[in-house]
Structure 1
Amino acid sequence: MSGKNKLKSKIENLKLRWARTSPKRYIKFLRKKGIKIGNDIFMTPDVKSISIDITRPSLIEIGNNVRVNKNLTLVTHDGAFYVLKNLYNEFMPKSGRIKVGNNVYFGRNCTVLMNVEIGDNCIIGFGSVVTRSIPANSVAVGVPAKVICTIEEYYERRKIESVQQALDYARSIHERFNRKPKIEEFWEEFPLFLKGDELHEKLPIKRQLGKAYGHYKVNNKPVFDGFDDFLRKAGIE
């Protein structure tokens, strides 16, 4: 590598290191490189853990409302050609597109390989390695990632499970700390005991709901008749 190319490479590495100091800078950097990225992207503050392949930026497309967690890796190529080159003295590169739809959630430690399309409204579970395309409205998990249910099935299951999980969380506080749980400890469970038009100064209701707040305000009907009723149902008086 010539001195000029070494300097250019060093400058590019410095730009990347600076970009990885904040989600906003990293997204801006990726867009400038040529990766297509939509709006309302949430990216973990631990940006340094994310690895998005910038060697072929035109091959990556990310939609709107995508949530990126720690250790996400998007790979549009591989280095397996080294083995073939040494064995057959031929150079055969490999690359492929990655397309992530709208409203997609990645759990931590996920990897997406080339020639993969993830449809809209998908959940990709913790530690998944996505080697094949995932259809829209799916929940997928595993190595390799496989669809385990539709998003509608997951929604119905979660409505039931969230109630029992919230009650168990309340019991765990009471058991562990030998005290009555405080309402501010339920910054995600509040829809279970507050009506849609009820606000509480100790709960980040509007911030948690974002754009969904308007619908929640009109339509939320709590399972329990207030926080005290919720605690009673958990067996805490």
Structure 2
Amino acid sequence: MKQLLRKLVFPYTYSSEAYVKALRNKYNIDIGENCMIWSPNKVYIDIQRPHLLHIGDYVKITSGVNIICHDYSRSVFMSVPGYENVGEARETYIGDNVFIGMNSIILMGSVIGDNCIIGAGSVVSGKFEKNSIIVGNPAKKICSLEDYYRRKKEQELNSAKLFVKKWHEKYGRYPSINEMTNAFSWLYVPHTLENLQENSNLFNYNGINDEIFKNNYLNTKPQFETYEEFLIYCKKE
């Protein structure tokens, strides 16, 4: 009933799938496959110049994001004596596998390469090469995707231990493997195709390339043989 009401009130933004479909078919935006838009009724994607906007495959757009394809600041010129109208047009381009953090603004003419992460609250203008971490106002590249990955990988086990510790402090017990969610499942679930199929709830991710994900998973190994071994490790710390 709730979903039906949302569909009636927000016919094009009641879900990510509905918004992507509307952008592609109703507004003629060039948007790729397997894109994910969280809180679509809180996202603004400029439809005034659809031929000047490209959004690639596997793009993740979070709540409060604005993607802009025009600039009406020229209106100021026309109220200043002696000034003429000055038109402007630039393509706004977002590559494949890009994550756009909450409340970020992508300004007209921005070019964002593949595999980029844009930090929350960033104001993006200009050209950014692929595999970049982009943060700030004005947004700047702060490091490469590889550097960011290595840093996050080094911190992963401490993050998992913190999750367990705080859960225990709050609830007086240790979390089940399902309560750990899909965030840390690679640490302690054997990397087999059988486990992917039997424990789909632990490997349910939005906006990713399934083929690459499976290859990465099956060609790596967990740090712990079982979830119980992982919990024993956390309890010792």
**What interval of TM-score do these two structures reach, taking the shorter chain for normalisation?**
0.7 to 0.9
**2:132 corresponds to which residue?**
138
Partner Cα distance (2:199, 2:44) in 1: 37
Distance 1:90 1:217, change over 3 A: closer
Query: In the TM superposition, what whole-angstrom CA distance separates every residue of 1:5-40 from its partner, at most 9, and x where no partner exists?
Result: xxxxxxxxxxx9532233223222222322211111
Distance 1:102 1:202, change over 3 A: closer
Do the aligned residues in 1 keep the contact of 2:97 with 2:114 (CA within 8 Å)? Answer: yes
Distance 1:118 1:231, change over 3 A: same
Partner Cα distance (2:204, 2:44) in 1: 28
- What RMSD over aligned residues (CA atoms) do the two structures have, in Å? 2.3
- Greater alpha carbon shift after TM alignment, 136-145 vs 86-95: 86-95
Do the aligned residues in 1 keep the contact of 2:104 with 2:122 (CA within 8 Å)? Answer: yes
**2:18 corresponds to which residue?**
25
One-letter identity of the residue aligned with 1:41: C
Map 1:1-237; keep pairs closer than 5 Å: 18-32=11-25, 33-44=27-38, 46-88=39-81, 90-187=84-181, 188-197=183-192, 199=195, 204-208=201-205, 210-212=210-212, 214-235=214-235
Partner Cα distance (2:56, 2:213) in 1: 22
Distance 1:172 1:152, change over 3 A: same
Partner Cα distance (2:105, 2:188) in 1: 37
Paired residue secondary structure (2:80): helix
- Higher-RCO chain (CA-CA 8 Å, sequence separation at least 6): 2
Distance 1:217 1:91, change over 3 A: closer
Do the aligned residues in 2 keep the contact of 1:108 with 1:127 (CA within 8 Å)? Answer: yes
Query: In the TM superposition, what whole-angstrom CA distance separates every residue of 1:168-187 from its partner, at most 9, and x where no partner exists?
Result: 11011111221122211112
Give the deviation of 1:165 after TM superposition. 0.3
One-letter identity of the residue aligned with 2:201: P
Do the aligned residues in 2 keep the contact of 1:180 with 1:236 (CA within 8 Å)? Answer: no
Paired residue secondary structure (1:223): coil
**1:12 corresponds to which residue?**
none
Query: In the TM superposition, what whole-angstrom CA distance separates every residue of 1:60-85 from its partner, at most 9, and x where no partner exists?
Result: 01111111111111111222122211
Give the alignment's TM-score, normalised by structure 2: 0.84
One-letter identity of the residue aligned with 2:17: K
**2:6 corresponds to which residue?**
none
One-letter identity of the residue aligned with 1:199: N
Do the aligned residues in 1 keep the contact of 2:111 with 2:127 (CA within 8 Å)? Answer: yes
Paired residue secondary structure (1:225): coil
Give the alignment's TM-score, normalised by structure 1: 0.84
Paired residue secondary structure (2:137): coil
Give the deviation of 1:229 after TM superposition. 1.8
Partner Cα distance (2:212, 2:163) in 1: 25
Rg (Cα) greater in structure: 1
Distance 1:213 1:61, change over 3 A: closer
Question: Tell me, which stretches of 5 or more residues in structure 1 are unaligned?
Answer: 1-15
